[in-house]
Each structure stands twice: as C-alpha cells, then as structure tokens.
Amino acid sequence: MREERRRAARHPVPGQVEGTVTAEIATALVDVSATGALVEHVHTLRPGSVYRVRFVASETAADFTCRAVRSFVVRTQPAGGSETELVYRTGLEFIEPDARVLGRLLAVVRA
C-alpha cells in the first residue's frame, strides 16, 4: 500500500472553477520592432494567448503584455542524455505598447 505524503487534506470543489498558470519560460530575443518581437524558446507558447514578457540586459529591464501571434519549430537541440528538445520561435505582438516602455526596451537592446 502507498504511503500518504500529503501534509493537508484535499477537498472536492463543487461546480467548475477555472484558472491560469503563470510560468517563467527562458527566451532569447531574436528581433524587435515598435509593435512586437520575435523570441526563441523551448516551451510551447500558444498563438492567441496573452503573456507577460520581461526582457533584461545589463541590469536594464522592460516588461510587456504581449499576444502570441504565431509559433513554429526552428530546430532541435540536445536536452541531456540521449534526449532532444524542440526549439520554437514565436512572434509576439505588444498589447498597447507605452512609449516609455518601448524606450526601456531600446535601452535593453542597446545594452
């Protein structure tokens, strides 16, 4: 018999309750414009979904709310041992970009 490892009891939820999961996904900035950016990463980003994105270089950061417009596989790479992983590129559209934030992004890119 399996030993119970939970520290607290779980309780059924009546009805339907939905939520979202926010996760940090490492990305590399490939290119950028005033309306969006192309990023490279190994985890799936779904077109149509909205994400909060932070670009950082030399202690300068710029945060954006973006919508994934398209996402495609560009290559595979080793993932440890005999495993490989897919590498994606995703086109992001900035949602209501602010001139100050775009200025910070330029500072990040130039850093």
Among 3.30.70, 2.30.30, 2.40.10, 3.40.50, name the CATH number for the domain at 28-110. Answer: 2.40.10
C-alpha span between 50 and 93 (Å, rounded):
9
- Neighbouring residues of 105: CB distance < 8 A, sequence distance ≥ 6: 32, 55, 62, 64
Domain range list for the chain: 28-110
pLDDT tens for each residue of 27-65? 999 998 888 999 999 999 999 999 999 888 888 788 889
How far, CA to CA in Å, does 62 sit from each of 39, 53, 72, 81, 104? Answer: 14, 8, 25, 35, 6
Determine the Cα angle at 70 with ends 79 and 46, to 5°: 65
pLDDT of residue 39: 97
Which token pair is 2? 């399996």
According to the model, what pLDDT value does residue 1 have? 67
